[in-house]
Each structure stands twice: as C-alpha cells, then as structure tokens.
Chains A and B, each alone.
Chain A
Amino acid sequence: MSYFALGERYQHGQGLLYRVDPRVKIVIAVAFAFAITVVHAGHWQAFAGFGAFVALAVGTSRLPLWLVLRRSLIALPFAAAAFPLIFTKPGDTIFTVPLLGWAASHEGLVHVGSIMLKSWLAVLLAVVLTSCTRPLDLIRGLERLRLPRVLAGTIFFMYRYLHVIGEEGHRLMRARDARSASGPDGGKSGGSVLWRARVLGSMVGSLFVRSLERSERIYAAMQSRGYDGTVRFSNERRLARRDWGVLLVAVLALGGLIIYARF
C-alpha cells in the first residue's frame, strides 16, 4: 500500500475521455484554465458556456458526478484571499454585517462570485482530466509534449521515487511518533515547539542524505545497464484521429467562448 497512491486522482472507468491521448488532455486543461481567465466579472452567460464545456467533459468521461464535485473542493480554502473584496470593493451596499458594520457591495459580490466560479470551473475540468488519466500517462504526456529532457527525466525519476522516499519519510515520522510518550507521572510532555521543529529538521536532513546516497546507487545501476548520460525514451506514439478530433472540438469551443466573452 503506497502512501502516495491515496493522493492520486485516477479512477478506473470506461468513458471516451479515458481513451484520449494524455497530451491532448493536458493541452485542453491548460488552455481551458487560460481561456476562462479572460471572462469579465459578472458575464454569467460566458460562465454558462464554460460550464457547458465542463459538463460535456464530465459526460464523456462518465465519471461519477459526486466524485468530481467532491474533488473540486480542493481549492476552496484559497477563497479566503478573495473574500474581503466583497466588503472593500466600492459600489452599492447590499447588506451590512451586524456588529462589525462591514458593508457588502453589489460589485464586490459579483467580483468575488466570478473569481470563485472561474476557479471552480478550472479545477473541475482539471479534476475530470486527471481522474481519467493514469498519473504515469500524464507524465509520459508531458514528455511527449517535448518538455526539455532534463525536466522530463527528472519528473520520471521523481515519480518513481516519490513512493520509495515518501515511504521512508513516513516511516521516520512513525518511528518518531512511537517514541513520543508522556512521562511516568503524566506531567508536561512534548518539549517546545522549536525543539519539535528542529527534530523534524534532523529527519529531513537524514532523508536528504539517504536520498542522495540512493541516487548514487541508482546511477551505478543505470551505468551497469549502459546509461551514458543521454535520457532516452522508448515510447513514441502518434496521435490517433480521435485525438485530433477531440483537440479540434475543444480548441474551437474554447476559441468561440473567448470571442463570445470578450467581443
């Protein structure tokens, strides 16, 4: 049971979107996230259009709706950053918070509502695409999108060793917690916050040294099998007609939505 498997979003399924090349899905997700930024605050019809795009994606992925909705809440805490605008944006007062006397403006509400909507729709689409693509395929997709080799190679190794080193970190914490006990008289225990932070620092340092030494052994294992410093990939795949079709439809739809939103 791997620690990081829990954080991965892939969900087994059968929808059309599962069979689309990961490159296409990555491009669509990034393009969508950019496209939605151009919508003016309060342009609800444009938001409805982007919403329809997301609905189409959810439909073709055939992912359970509740799953997509639940996962889309991940960015919610960040709303705190935009929230004060409700009260600080000048405009017509709609209501006043009792006791505090803060006046909420119409413009502020529209503005914050639009930000939240943009964020939520972009996260929804990203959730859909990553839920129907294996993490490894996403990473292979990046590589085939001609990411610089150093980055692609780094990400491949990172993904492989996330599990190994993540487990090591997890075991270190477990060993520490197993020794974090209260005293015989039940008195004050736990030391100071700074001491606990320093202990975590030691653990991080020890994980670093182990990681570095592991990278040396991996390098030896790679050399043993002929590695000469050039990162090579064996998987080269052309886009199928379906992939081009999906890409074309998405690009046209997003282009249309941008034009509708701005002009």
Chain B
Amino acid sequence: MVLPMPQLPILLHIPDGFLSTWVATVFYLITIACLAVAIRKTSESYQESTAPLMGVLAAFIFAAQMMNFPVAGGTSGHMLGGALAAILVGPWAAMVIMACVVGVQALVFQDGGLAVLGANIFNMGIATALVGFAVYKAVTGFGNGKRPFILVGTFAAAWVSVMVAAFLTSAQLAVSGTSDWGIVLPAMLGVHALIGIGEGVISAGAVAFVLATRPDLLGITPDFGDSTLAGEHVR
C-alpha cells in the first residue's frame, strides 16, 4: 500500500498570502541572520563531514515527519522534529537541517509558501531548535544528566517547541491582520497543546532509543575521524 504524501502539521506551514509584506520581509531577514550564524557554527563543529551529515539528517527529519501513528477515528499523529534535532545534534546544526527541510517542502512540494518561507523556517526550525534546546538543557542540567531527566527534558522541550511554533504562527497571522488574536491564539494553542503531547512522547521515545543503543551520540559532537566507523555497521 502506498501511503499519501507526508501529512505535515498543516497549520504551521503558512501558505503565501496570509502574511503582510512587512511581516514576511522582517522574518526573512531574521531567518537569514540566524542561519548565517548557524552555518558558521555548524561548519566549525563538523568540518569536512558537514554536508553529508547535515544532508542525511535533513532527509531523516523529512522521513520522520512522514511517519505516523494512529490516534483515533482515522486520524494520525506525527512529529515536527525541530526540538528532537536540536537535542540530537545541537541547536545550530538543527537550524541548518530544519531550514533545508522546510525550504525544500516549500519549493518542491508546495508545503508552505515562498514569500512566507522566512517566517516558516523561523517558526518551525529556528525557534523550535533554540527554545527546545534551552528547555532540554535546563531540565537535564537540573537533573545532572540522569536518564529520567533526559527523557522528561526531551518531552518538555518538544512540547514547548510546538507551543512556541504555534504561538509565533498565530502572532504573525494576527499582526498581519489575517486573523483575530482573540480567536486564533486560543484555538492554535489549544490544539497544539494536544499535538505537543504527541511530539513530546515521540521525541522522548526517540531519545530513549538512542540512549539505549548509541548513548555516545547524545550531547556529544560526533568525532568524525575513523573512530566513528567503529561498530558492526562497517563490517
């Protein structure tokens, strides 16, 4: 059975026409500035392996967004992935990855508009990575990096990141005059408070898997000497 296209969090992929010229332009500029920093930081961390690593992980996020689980009544849940990416590879690399995912979704698959691309990348890629990573670090730091705190931190980071993305989207719509604060904000936050639980559980499940099988990957920048070729996968 071939499934339909990835069901993305549609209400976070703003289409063209819904943001005013100023809001769209301002967020393009903010996004470009953030990405400039993110690209520099990422290149420093990963050096030669930046392009293949970021590219494969961007494909991973794209694929992960496509995977779903049945919720009820024929609907299914899936993830956005910004906070998870930040937890797994750090906020800067996560921004680069998410920018490429959201950009290709807009350009090749028409999920999200082109003039509003800056806003969409900011909401789903930059804000989720920064806020998610901050929440994760705060919780794990509080718990000295013990396993339960890593999982709770991941859940909290993922939930908050979805709420922040929903808030930003609502705010941009309201400031652009395409929605009423009084209606869009409670509606979006209400729906995403539930969606965020799914995001949190999926993200925590993913981190639990990584923690069990490759704990070396969590919070540590992979060392891409020949050392990482160790392990069964190259035999």
Contact = CB atoms under 8 A, between A and B. Distances in A.
B162 interface: no
A161 B55 contact: yes
Contacts, number: 321
Contact of A130 (B18, B108, B173, B206): B108
B43 interface: yes
Interface residues of B, number: 98
Contacts of B110: 9, 71, 74-75, 123, 126-127, 130
B115 A37 contact: yes
A23 interface: no
Interface string B69-109: 11110000111000010001000000011011101100111
A7 B6 contact: yes
Residue from A166, A200, A203, A217 with most neighbouring chain B CB atoms (10 Å): A200
B152 interface: no
A247 interface: no
A151 B205 contact: no
Contacts of B107: 26, 130, 138, 142
A92 interface: no
Interface in A13-43: 26, 29-30, 33-34, 36-38
Contacts of B54: 150, 153-154, 157-158
A81 B2 contact: no
B15 A84 contact: no
Contact of A33 (B4, B51, B113, B198): B113
A172 B60 CA distance: 13
B161 interface: no
A170 B68 CA distance: 10
B16 A198 contact: no
A81 B51 contact: no
15 contacts: A6-B2, A30-B115, A33-B113, A37-B20, A37-B24, A78-B14, A81-B18, A81-B179, A85-B179, A126-B113, A150-B51, A151-B35, A203-B67, A204-B64, A204-B205
Q: Which 5 A-B pairs rank lowest in CB-CB distance, beginning with the nearest? A: A201-B205, A157-B55, A205-B209, A119-B17, A153-B51
Given A123-B110, A126-B16, A216-B224, 5 more contacts: A78-B15, A158-B58, A169-B66, A198-B208, A201-B207
